[in-house]
Amino acid sequence: MSPFKSIGKWIEFRELIKENWHQLTDEEIEIARDSIDHFVDNLSRKYGSNLACTKGQINSLLMKIGLI
C-alpha cells in the first residue's frame, strides 16, 4: 500500500531516497510509489542489507516527512 496521497510528499520522499541510496534508478525508486513493502524488499536485496534494518530506514524517512 502506498502512503503517498499527495504529489508533494512523494517528491520529498523520492529526494530522500536519492540522497541515501545513490545507485538506485528512477525506475527502482518509482516502485515505492505503489508499494513500500515491495520497494523495501527490492532495496534490501540490491544492497544485501537486513530486511528489518532496511524497513527501519524507510520508516525513518517516512516519519521525517510526516507520513507515519
The total of other beta-carbon atoms located within 10 Å of residue 59's CB is 14
- Residue 1: its pLDDT value, please? 61
Distance of CA 5 to the CA centre of its chain: 15
For 15-57, the pLDDT digits (tens) are 999 999 999 999 999 999 999 999 999 999 999 999 999 999 9
- Residue 5: its pLDDT value, please? 82
Length reported for the chain: 68
**In total, how many domains does the chain have?**
1
Cα–Cα distance for residue pair 62/43, rounded to 1 Å? 15
- Residue 6: its pLDDT value, please? 86
Residue 2 lies in a domain: no
Cα–Cα distance for residue pair 54/11, rounded to 1 Å? 20
Residue 1 lies in a domain: no
5-19: average pLDDT: 94
* CATH code of the domain covering residue 32: 1.10.1470
- Residue 8: its pLDDT value, please? 93
Residue 56 lies in a domain: yes
Residue 29 lies in a domain: yes
Residue 33 lies in a domain: yes
